[in-house]
Amino acid sequence: MNSRVAVIVVAAGRGTRFSTDQYRQPKQYRDLGGRPVVSHALEAFLSHPAITDVLVVIHPDDTDLYDRAVAAIGPVAGEKLRQAVSGGASRQESVRNGLVAMENRNIDLILIHDAARPFISHAVIDAVLEKLTEGNRAVLPAVPVVDTLKRLDDKSGQLVTVDRTGLWAAQTPQGFDYRTILEGHEKANLAGRSDFTDDTAIAEWLGFEVILADGDPDNFKITSRSDLDRAIKRVPMTKIQNPGLAELGDVRMGTGYDVHAFEDGDGVILGGIRIAHDKRLKGHSDADVVLHAITDAILGAIGDGDIGAHFPPSDPVWKGASSDRFLEDAVRRVTELGGKTAHVDVTVVCEAPKIGPHREAMRQSIARICNLPVSRVSVKATTSERLGFTGRKEGIAALASATVRLPFTGEDFS
Ligand code: MG
C-alpha cells in the first residue's frame, strides 16, 4: 500500500466527568503505567509502519501536558509526529481543525482516534486500513454489544428489553478517505451542524455507507474513574527512559542525620571534597558525614533502609571507601523505581573548619554525584554555639533532607 495514511488523535476534551475527584488534569493526560494516557495511543500509531503522519488536536491550555506526553514516548515520536493544533468548542470542531491542518500533506487516508483509548492495537488499525484500501470511504471499528440492554419506556414508565441483535458499540480509530471526510466536515460546518458525536455520523449524514471492521473489547475509552482503574490494572508499570519531573507525581521527602568524631589528621572530606584542617574524621569509610546524611535522606524518601543496611561498617570491602559510591547507589535505587532525586538540602554543624569558603565546591560536588543541577542542591552550615560535642570541637554532625519524585503506581492514593 503506497497511500499516505495520517492519524488525528483528538485530545482537546476537558474531561468534565473527572472533575469531581482530586485531580484536575484531563483524563487523556492522567497517569497510566507511569506515563500519560495519550502517550499510549500515540506510541501505537507512531510505531505502525503504514502510518506516515500523526497529528494531535489539543486544548490550548494543555501545551505543557502535551509536551510531557510526547517526551514520555521517546524516540518513536521521530519524524511522523506533526505540530499539534488547537481544538475547538466541540469534538467535531476539533476534528475539523485537525483535518484542515493536514490539507497540504497529500494525505489519502485518515484515521481519527480518541486520545482516551490507550489500548489501540496494530491489529485493529490493520483491520480498519484493510477496509479502506478495498475502496470503502468510511470504516468503523466496532464490537458487538454483549450486555443486555434496557430502555425506559416514556409512556408506560416500564423497562423494556432491547433486542441487541445487530447492535454494535462504536470505537475509534474511524477510518476515511481523507477528501471525503474533510468535505463532510466542511459541509456540516456550513450547515451549522456541530452536534455529530463521531465522524462516521457525518459520513452517514452525507449518505456514505459505513463499513464495519473488527474492533477489540480492550480498545475501551476511559471516561470515568472506574475506566481508569480498569486501564491501570491492565497496563504494567513501565519505566520511563527519561521522565520529566511533572510525570513523577508521587513526591517523597526523606531526612538523614550523621555524626563522625575527629581524630588527629590533616583534613576532612565533606560533600565529596577535601578541606584542609588540623584533624580528620574517624570512620570505616572516608567518614564523609555530609554524603552519609544525604544518602540516608534519599533512602528514607524511598523507604529503602539506611546506609548501614546496604553498606555494613563490619564489611571490610567498605574500609576507606569513597562515600560517592554510597550516595550514587541511593540515587540509582531511585532511578530503578522509575523516579528522580529532585532536591537535596544539607546542614553541617561544626565550629571548625569553616564551611562557608567551601560551600559552592560542596554544592557542585554533591550535584555531580546526584546528577542534579547545582540549583537543586543546598549546603548550609551552623555552629552549635560551643555547646555539645560539636561545640567542643569533638566532631561534625550533618542533617540532610531530600526530595524524591516517583511515578504513581496507581495503587497508592489515586
Ligand atoms: Mg557515617
Residue 239 amino acid letter = K
As a whole number, the mean pLDDT across the chain is 90
> Could you tell me the CATH number of the domain that includes residue 262?
3.30.1330.50
Domain end, chosen from 217, 246, 275, is at 246
Q: How far, in Å, from the CA of 195 to the mean position of ligand 1? A: 68
Q: How far, in Å, from the CA of 361 to the mean position of ligand 1? A: 21
Instruction: Quote the pLDDT of residue 238.
Output: 52
Q: How far, in Å, from the CA of 283 to the mean position of ligand 1? A: 7
Within a domain: residue 37? yes
| CA dist list (Å): 252 to 340, 342, 376 | 10, 10, 15
Instruction: Quote the pLDDT of residue 105.
Output: 92
In whole angstroms, what is the distance from residue 132 CA to residue 5 CA?
A: 10
pTM of the model: 0.61
Full DSSP string of 46-92: HT-TTEEEEEEEE-GGGHHHHHHHHHHHGGGGTTTBPPPEE--SSHH
The cell for 120 is 489501540
Q: How far, in Å, from the CA of 323 to the mean position of ligand 1? A: 9
Instruction: Quote the pLDDT of residue 147.
Output: 86
> Could you tell me the CATH number of the domain that includes residue 19?
3.90.550.10
What is the domain count for the chain? 2
Within a domain: residue 412? no
Q: How far, in Å, from the CA of 255 to the mean position of ligand 1? A: 14
Q: How far, in Å, from the CA of 375 to the mean position of ligand 1? A: 25
Q: How far, in Å, from the CA of 348 to the mean position of ligand 1? A: 13
Q: How far, in Å, from the CA of 298 to the mean position of ligand 1? A: 14
Q: How far, in Å, from the CA of 91 to the mean position of ligand 1? A: 60
Q: What is the largest CA-CA distance in the chain?
A: 97
Domain end, chosen from 186, 221, 246, is at 246
pLDDT in tens, 66-117: 998 998 887 776 789 999 999 999 999 999 999 999 999 999 999 999 999 9
Average pLDDT over residues 46-64: 94
Residues 254 and 303 in one domain: yes
Within a domain: residue 190? yes
Residues 15 and 128 in one domain: yes
Instruction: Quote the pLDDT of residue 21.
Output: 47
Q: How far, in Å, from the CA of 294 to the mean position of ligand 1? A: 10
Average pLDDT over residues 373-379: 97
Residues 231 and 255 in one domain: no
Q: How far, in Å, from the CA of 378 to the mean position of ligand 1? A: 19
Residues 277 and 233 in one domain: no
Domain end, chosen from 214, 246, 278, is at 246
Task: Give SS3 for 399.
Answer: strand
Q: How far, in Å, from the CA of 342 to the mean position of ligand 1? A: 23
pLDDT in tens, 213-264: 999 999 999 988 888 888 887 876 554 456 678 778 889 999 999 999 999 9
231 contacts: CB under 8 Å, gap ≥ 6: 32, 37, 118, 119, 220, 222
Within a domain: residue 202? yes
Within a domain: residue 414? no
Q: How far, in Å, from the CA of 321 to the mean position of ligand 1? A: 12
Question: If we measure between CA atoms, which residue out of 1, 15, 129 comes closest to residue 65?
Answer: 15
Residues 344 and 239 in one domain: no
Residues 206 and 326 in one domain: no
Average pLDDT over residues 275-280: 96
Higher pLDDT, 223 or 143: 143
Q: How far, in Å, from the CA of 103 to the mean position of ligand 1? A: 65
Q: How far, in Å, from the CA of 57 to the mean position of ligand 1? A: 54
Q: How far, in Å, from the CA of 260 to the mean position of ligand 1? A: 6
Within a domain: residue 284? yes
Instruction: Quote the pLDDT of residue 20.
Output: 45
Q: How far, in Å, from the CA of 314 to the mean position of ligand 1? A: 13
Residues 159 and 23 in one domain: yes
248 contacts: CB under 8 Å, gap ≥ 6: 338, 339, 340, 342, 405, 406, 407
Q: How far, in Å, from the CA of 273 to the mean position of ligand 1? A: 16
Average pLDDT over residues 310-333: 89
Residues 348 and 387 in one domain: yes
Q: How far, in Å, from the CA of 281 to the mean position of ligand 1? A: 10
Q: How far, in Å, from the CA of 259 to the mean position of ligand 1? A: 6
Instruction: Quote the pLDDT of residue 22.
Output: 46
Q: How far, in Å, from the CA of 196 to the mean position of ligand 1? A: 67
The cell for 286 is 572516608
User: Which residues on neighbouring strands pair with residue 170, listed in sequence order?
Assistant: 142
Full DSSP string of 95-107: HHHHHHHTGGG--
Instruction: Quote the pLDDT of residue 317.
Output: 82
Residues 230 and 257 in one domain: no
Instruction: Quote the pLDDT of residue 278.
Output: 95
In whole angstroms, what is the distance from residue 299 CA to residue 297 CA?
A: 6
- Give residue 372's domain range: 250-406
Residues 52 and 181 in one domain: yes
Q: How far, in Å, from the CA of 287 to the mean position of ligand 1? A: 6
Q: How far, in Å, from the CA of 277 to the mean position of ligand 1? A: 19
Lowest mean pLDDT among 113-122, 132-141, 377-386, 403-412: 403-412
Q: How far, in Å, from the CA of 292 to the mean position of ligand 1? A: 5
Q: How far, in Å, from the CA of 380 to the mean position of ligand 1? A: 18
Q: How far, in Å, from the CA of 289 to the mean position of ligand 1? A: 5
User: Would you say residue 389 has pLDDT above 80?
Assistant: yes
User: Would you say residue 201 has pLDDT above 60?
Assistant: yes
Q: How far, in Å, from the CA of 338 to the mean position of ligand 1? A: 27
Residues 228 and 361 in one domain: no
Q: How far, in Å, from the CA of 312 to the mean position of ligand 1? A: 11
Q: How far, in Å, from the CA of 368 to the mean position of ligand 1? A: 20
Residues 73 and 188 in one domain: yes
270 in Cβ contact with 348 (< 8 Å): yes
